[in-house]
Amino acid sequence: MLKLENITKRFGPVVANHRVSLEVARGEVLALLGENGAGKTTLVSILYGLYAPDEGRILLEGKEVRIPSPKAAQRLGIALVPQHPELIEAHTVAENLALGLDLPLAFSRRALVRRLAALLEGHPLGVDLEAPVARLSAGEKQRVELLRALLNRPRVLVLDEPTSVLTPKEVEGLFQEIRRLKALGLAVIFISHKLEEVLAIADRIAVLRAGEKVGEVWCQEADKDLLVRLMVGRSLAPPPKVPPPRKEVVLEVEDLLVPRHGFPVQGVSFALRAGEVLGIAGVAGSGQAELVQALAGLRPHQGRVRFLGKPWPRDPMSLFRQGVAHIPEERSMGVVGGMSVAENLALRTYPRFVRRGLLDYRAMEMEAGGLIQRYGIRTPSPRTPVRFLSGGNVQKVILARELQGGARLLLAMHPTYGLDVGATEEVHGRILELVQGGAAVLLVSEDLDEILALSHRVAALYHGRFVGPVPREEADRERLGRMMTEGRV
């Protein structure tokens, strides 16, 4: 059905794709597996007419085609569900879908909704056509994206990391839909860096690394080890053992209440020892964000909090000085994208670089150079704006900055969200190093495997109340799931 031959794409000196060849047949799901920055999205952008390839050709049903624009891709029957929903938030679902249709010059809203309803008749993915997109959940938004892609009856459907915004249940729904489309004869290209998903849905798996195709296997012949080796270029080390916690109590929280339109955190109490990781799971919006923000000094709270036996300092700067590090829930909150790596690294410690009232940039960049090396931050230079870095490297900048002061407590929220296998391993390594050094870690994550891998004790937040904690040995995915959704141990 669709064939890519020797596609090469360069951005200046960077080679994003080097002689990549792929093929996908009618009724087949081809998975494109690779780490962040491996060139998956570039390849898709070429296929969808967003970039022109420098070399190579694209064949559709045996005929060579040129795809100069997204419109041309749509005409050829190639549809894309982009990685982040590209919807217009202010519009209704119907108006968003209408953009994918051939519209008459003028129309009434009612006629539009009727026409769309007719087109979507009998489709298993129902959505309210008249709802404004801004009110939909991430999963619903993606459903709208998928419906839009299907409106033009495509022959090839490209899904770019579609599961990154979905809950496990929604992922199952998406997979069912993919199987249905496959049965209808569509060729599906499924992009991901998650091994389990690729193994669950694909017929064939092509692995990209650093812009090149490094392997292609049938799904039956593939296993996780093989895929990791292809994708990362080495086997992963087994996760390091977490030593048992020490006696000393680092953080004591009693009856913590956080007000914000009501009380998203309602009387939470726990104690955290030196060298201990307490993992906190929870359905999104159960009070995790407010809990971490309150402890990080970003939100007022009531209740008693003691740190190393002293009252809790309430503002972020004193917190940092006394040894509290914070990885915020979104990376964009943790850095200033337009500022350089060196400047971001100095956001906590800049007073040290003041000479006669001015910042000594040479000293700042020297220091940054050291941190860049120690944390393995991949950046062209300390002066590069942070927004040009990949997610994993941004997270390393945040870690490097926060851990500078000799942290005694780390408040980590979603520390590896959206990171690929290699970067996740590095971040976990840093956190464990810290724990071995005797720091305490409060780990909030939606990734249950991450919580189970790192924590000594696990708890869940359920409607703002603490469920647990229970020792790690007594917890597994199922139990943690029950704690999250039913609120009982």
Partner 1 sequence: MEEALLRAVLFGTPILLASLGALLSERGGVVNLGVEGMMALSALAAFAAALEAGPVWGVLCGVGVGSLLGLFLGVFAVFLRANQFVAGLALAALGLGASGLLGKRYEGTPLPDPLPEGVLAGLALILALGLHLLLSRTRYGLYLRSVGENPKAADLFGVSVDGVRYLALALGGGMIGLAGAYLSLAYRPSWTDGMTSGLGWVAIALVILAGWQPLRAVLGAYFFGLLFFLQFRLQGSVPIPSEAFAAMPYLLVILVLALSGRARAPRALGQPFDRGR
Task: Report the interface residues with partner 1, using CB under 8 A.
Answer: 45, 48, 50-51, 69-71, 74, 80, 82, 86-91, 95, 98-100, 103-109, 148
Please identify, using beta-carbon distances, which residue of 68 and 243 lies nearer to partner 1. Answer: 68
User: Which residue matches tokens 């590090």?
Assistant: 325
- Of 67 and 181, CB closest to partner 1: 67
Closest CB to partner 1 among residues 45, 416: 45
Least distance in Å: CB of 103 to partner 1?
4
CA–CA distance, 381 with 359 (Å, rounded to integer): 19
Question: In terms of C-beta distances under 8 Å and separation of at least 24 residues, what long-range contacts does 462-468 make, across chains too?
Answer: 462/282, 462/283, 462/286, 462/486, 462/487, 463/266, 463/286, 463/287, 463/487, 464/263, 464/264, 464/265, 464/266, 464/268, 464/286, 464/287, 464/290, 465/266, 465/267, 465/268, 466/268, 466/269, 466/270
Reported as type and span, the H/E element at residue 231 is helix 224-232
Pick between residue 91 and residue 229 the one whose CB is nearest to partner 1. 91
Least distance from C-beta 336 to partner 1, angstroms? 19
Least CB distance to partner 1 at residue 161 (A): 15
CB 257, CB 303: distance < 8 Å = yes
What CA–CA distance (Å, rounded) separates 62 from 395? 44
CB of 80 to partner 1, least distance (A): 7
Under 8 Å CB-to-CB from 263, ≥6 apart: which residues? 257, 464
Nearest CB to partner 1, comparing residues 83 and 164: 83
Min separation Cβ 70 and partner 1, Å: 5
Residue type, 95: E
- As a whole number of angstroms, the distance between CA 378 and CA 375 comes to 9
How distant, in Å, are the alpha carbons of 58, 69, 234, 281, 473 from that of 446?
39, 37, 27, 6, 19
Phi and psi dihedrals of 64, rounded to 5?
A: -70, 135
Which residue number, 12 or 262, has a Cβ lying nearer to partner 1? Answer: 12
> What's the closest the beta carbon of residue 105 comes to partner 1, in angstroms?
5
Q: In the complex, what is the shortest distance from the CB of residue 148 to partner 1, in angstroms, rounded to a whole number?
A: 8
**Nearer residue to partner 1 within complex by CB, 71 or 362:** 71
